[in-house]
Amino acid sequence: MCLSSNGNFTLFFADPHYHRVHAPLDGAVNWSCHIPGAFWPVNAWGVQTVAKLYCVNERVVTLLETSQGYVAVVMVAAMDVGQITLAYDAAITTTRHSPRRTSTETVYTPPKPLTKGEELGVFHMGSTVIVLFAPGVLLGDVRPLQGCRVTMGESLHTYT
């Protein structure tokens, strides 16, 4: 299920869905941050009941620098999703049983290149991804997405 607003996307991964996250554009990862947190469900109940749900749940933020500008991909963990692994950095893996519960920032020098569609990370179950684009990164129309299903490789955006 997905929801779009002003060219930014929130994608929800339920149990039967594909749980891999891919780079939305060609670019390079120059920064990431693992932010420990809670594991509230990210279903309709959680979104309506838990204040600032996406801010209190465990998450990993990946910052991609693209030729059009910056794109942030935020992988948000959920109940029963205690683990996120990243394809571009095997040292970062989240788990609710980890003894290390402080935020960890990583700067990549040199940046780690990724091509559009290349795997960024994996949820070991299901959860939510939020994709934020800097102004001017996406030019064109964003199709209405609320409640729709998106498949791997399907465009979320129409370029002009």
Which candidate, 157, 145, 13, 153, places its Cα nearest to that of 76?
13
Mean pLDDT over residues 91-104, rounded? 71
Question: CA-CA-CA-CA torsion for 138, 70, 121, 39, nearest 10 degrees?
Answer: -100
**Confidence check: pLDDT of 146 > 60:** no
Question: What angle (nearest 5°) sits at the alpha carbon of residue 87, between those of residues 13 and 10?
Answer: 30
Q: pLDDT tier at 42 (50, 70, 90 boundaries)?
A: confident
71/61 Cα distance (integer angstroms):
10
What are residue 98's phi and psi, to 5 degrees?
A: -65, 135
- pLDDT of 1 reads 38
pLDDT classification of 32: cutoffs 50, 70, 90: very high
Q: 143 and 154 in contact (C-beta within 8 Å)?
A: no
| Averaged pLDDT for residues 25-43 | 89
Q: What pLDDT shows up at residue 111?
A: 97
